[in-house]
Structure 1
C-alpha cells in the first residue's frame, strides 16, 4: 500500500477510535436529570418508606371488618356410665356459631382512623421523595462547583507557571531578583496544595452522591462541564408560603394525622357503648330406646359487655385521645412555623447569592483581570513589584472561586425552595 494511502487510512482509524471514546465518555456523563431519576428508582430509603406506606394502606379494610365468626361443636349431657344417648333424654350432639358485633359506628371509626393514617404515610413518602431530590441536587451542585474549582485552579497553575518563567527570564538576564522566582514557585506550590485538597473534597462528595443513587461509593462520577448560567427570579415570600400551604406533603401528612386523631377521639367516646355477641346453637338428640323420635333443640343467645370500670378505662381513653389530638394540632403549627422560616431564609440566601453572581460576573472579576494584565505589563518594564503582581493573580483566582461558590449556593437554594414549597412553581 502506498505510504500516502496508509497514512490516510491510519488517520481515519484514529478518528473513529477518538469518536468512539468521546461517545462513550458522553454516555457516562451524569446529568442532574439522570441523577434525580436514578435516585427515585434506586434509593433504598425511599423504597423503605414506600413499602411502609403500602403496608399501612392495607390496614383500613382489616380494622373495618367484623371479627371472624366462631363455630363450635359439643356433646351435652352424655351419660358417662354407658354413653348411650338414647337412654338420656337431654343427651345431644350440638354445633353452633357465634358472631361478635361492635356497637354501630365503631367499625366505621376504626376504618376511618386507619385510612387517615395510611394517607398520612402516603404524604410522608412524597415528603421523603422531595427531601431526597433536594439532597441529590445539593450534592450534585457541590460536585459541579468542585469541578469548576479544579478547572480554574488548573488555569491559574498555568498562569503562575508563566509568571515563574517571566521572573526566571528576567533573573537570568540580570533584570530581576531571585526572590521573585522563589516567591512565584512558592505560590505555585500552594496552589498545588489547594488542588490536592479540592480533589479530596470531590472524592467525598462523589461518594455521597453514589450513596444517594445506591451505587458503589467508589464509582467514578463525571458531570457535564457546562450548565446554563442564568438564574431566574423567584416569587416573593407570601406567594411561596401559599404554595407550601397547598402543596407541601409534610403539612398534608400532619393534617391527616389530625383527622386520624379526631376519629380515634370519636371512637374513644363510643367505647362506653356495649358490643354484642350473637350466638346460634343446634342440638341433635338420638331417638328413644323404643324408636320414638326426640325433637332436636335450637338455642339462641345474645350477650353484651357492661362497662362497669368506666372511670378507670373508657374515661381515661377519652382523655388520652384528647391529648393525642392536641399533640397533632401543635405539631402542625410547629411544622408550619418551621416551613415559613425555611422559605424566608432560603429565599434570602438565593437572592443574596444571585446578586453576588451578577456582581462578580459583571464587575469584580473583569476588573481584577484587567488589573493583572496591567500589572504584568508594568512588571515587564520594572514599574510594578513582583509581589503585588502575584497577589493580584491570586486575588483573581479567589474571586473566580467565590463566583462559582455563589452560583452553586443559588442553585442549591433553589433546590431547597422546591422542597420547602412542595412543587417547582416558585418562579415569577
Structure 2
C-alpha cells in the first residue's frame, strides 16, 4: 500500500514538473549561439572543410619521387624461342634491372610549395564561406526581430484604433460624427490586418531560411529572436579599414592566391632545368660465360619554348592575382566606408525619433484623443495623429534594423565582433 502511495506521489510530482515546463515560455536564442550551431552542422561549410583537408594531402604526393621501375629481360640468340642460345652463346641472357627518375634538385620542393599554397587558399575559401553564412544568419535573425517588433506595434495600435472606431460609431449614431471618418478608420483597421498577415507570411519564410542554414528540420520549433537594440559603434573609420587589411576573409583569400601564383612562377622557372634517370641491370648468361652488369644515366632536357610559355603564363597569372587583390581590397574598403556612414547616420535618426518625433507624436495624439472624448475635437484629427504615431514607431524600427544590419555587414568586412 505504501509503495503504491509513493508511486502515485511521484507521478503527481512529475506531472506537475512537466506541466510547469510546458507552461514556461520559450526563451530567445542569441544569434552567436545560432552561428556556432551553423558552423558545426551546416553542410556547405562541412563540404568546403573536406575539400580543404583533401587539398592538404596533395603536397606529399607531388614532393615524392616518381615511382621506380623494375625490368625483367630475356635475350635469345639464333631463334625467337625463349632461352634460345642460353647454353651456347654469351649474348643470350636473363636480365633483372631497376631505374629511378630523379627530378632536378628543388623541383619537387617547389611543387610542394605550390600545393601548400593552394591548400591555404582553399582554407581561406572556407573562412569566406563561413563568414558568408554567419552574415546570412545575422541578417535573417535581424529581419525576424524587426518583423516581431513591428508586428507588436501593429497589434498595439490596432488595440488603440478599435475603441476609437466604436467611439466614432457611437458619436455618429447620435449625429455628432461623420460616417466618412468612421469608414476611414475601419479601412485603417483592415490595412493593419493586411500588414499583420504579410508579416506572418514573411516570418514563416525567414524561419525556413534560418532552419536551412542551421541544418535543422523544417518541422522543428520556430526560433525566437532577442529584441532589437541599438549597438553603439566604438571604432573609427580608420580603425575599421585597418581591420579589413588584417582580417577580411575575401582579402585574405586573394592574398593567398597571390602567394600561390608566386610559387607557381618559381616552379615554372625551375622546370627549365633537366631531369635525370638512373638505372642498373644485372644480366645472367649461361654457365661458362661471364655475366653482364650495366649502369645507365639518362638526362631529359626540357624544350625551351614550352618552358618560356609556362613562365610567361605564370607571370601573367601572378600579375592578374595581384590586381585582383588590389581590386578586392579597394572594394572592401569602400564597402566599409559606406556601412560606416550608414551606422553613424542611423544613430542620428534613432536619436531624433527617440527624443523628438515619437514623444511629440504621442503627445499630440493624447491631446487630440482627450479633446475628442470631451466633444471638443472631430474624429479625423484623432485618426491622423494615431497614424502619425504608427508611422514614426515603424520608421524607428526600420532605422534600428538598418543600423544593426550595417553593423552586421561591418563585422563580415572587418572580421571583428562589433555587436
TM-score, normalised by the number of residues in structure 1 = 0.89
- Superposed counterparts of 1:16-415, under 5 Å: 19-23=20-24, 25-26=25-26, 29-80=28-79, 83=84, 85-217=86-218, 219-224=220-225, 226=227, 229-287=229-287, 292=288, 294-307=289-302, 309-311=303-305, 313-415=306-408
Q: Is the 8 A contact 1:79 1:85 kept in 2?
A: no
- Runs of 4 or more, structure 1, over 4 Å off, are 12-18, 217-220
Which runs of no fewer than 5 residues in structure 1 stay unpaired?
Answer: 1-11
1:4-52 CA deviation, whole Å, 9 max, x = no partner? xxxxxxxx999866522234x426x433123212211121111121111
Q: Is the 8 A contact 1:30 1:221 kept in 2?
A: no
Q: Is the 8 A contact 1:127 1:249 kept in 2?
A: yes
Partner Cα distance (1:316, 1:359) in 2: 64
Q: Is the 8 A contact 2:230 2:404 kept in 1?
A: no
Partner of 2:88, secondary structure, is coil
Partner of 2:358, secondary structure, is helix
1:88-121 CA deviation, whole Å, 9 max, x = no partner? 2121111111111111111111111111111111
Q: 1:30 to 1:231 in 2, by over 3 A?
A: closer
Q: Is the 8 A contact 1:63 1:107 kept in 2?
A: yes
Q: Is the 8 A contact 1:79 1:88 kept in 2?
A: no
1:420 maps to: 413
1:222-257 CA deviation, whole Å, 9 max, x = no partner? 314535x24222311111111111122322222221
Partner of 1:389, secondary structure, is helix
Which runs of no fewer than 5 residues in structure 2 stay unpaired?
Answer: 1-12
Partner of 2:224, secondary structure, is coil
**How many Å apart are 1:319 and its aligned residue?**
0.8
Q: 1:61 to 1:213 in 2, by over 3 A?
A: same
Q: 1:75 to 1:267 in 2, by over 3 A?
A: same
Partner Cα distance (1:415, 1:144) in 2: 14
> Does 322-331 or 244-253 show the bigger shift?
244-253
Partner of 1:26, secondary structure, is coil
> Does 197-206 or 320-329 show the bigger shift?
197-206
User: How many residues are paired up?
Assistant: 405
1:291-347 CA deviation, whole Å, 9 max, x = no partner? x4x33211111111133x422x11111111110110110010011001101100111
Q: 1:218 to 1:363 in 2, by over 3 A?
A: farther
Q: 1:14 to 1:83 in 2, by over 3 A?
A: closer
Q: Is the 8 A contact 1:78 1:92 kept in 2?
A: no
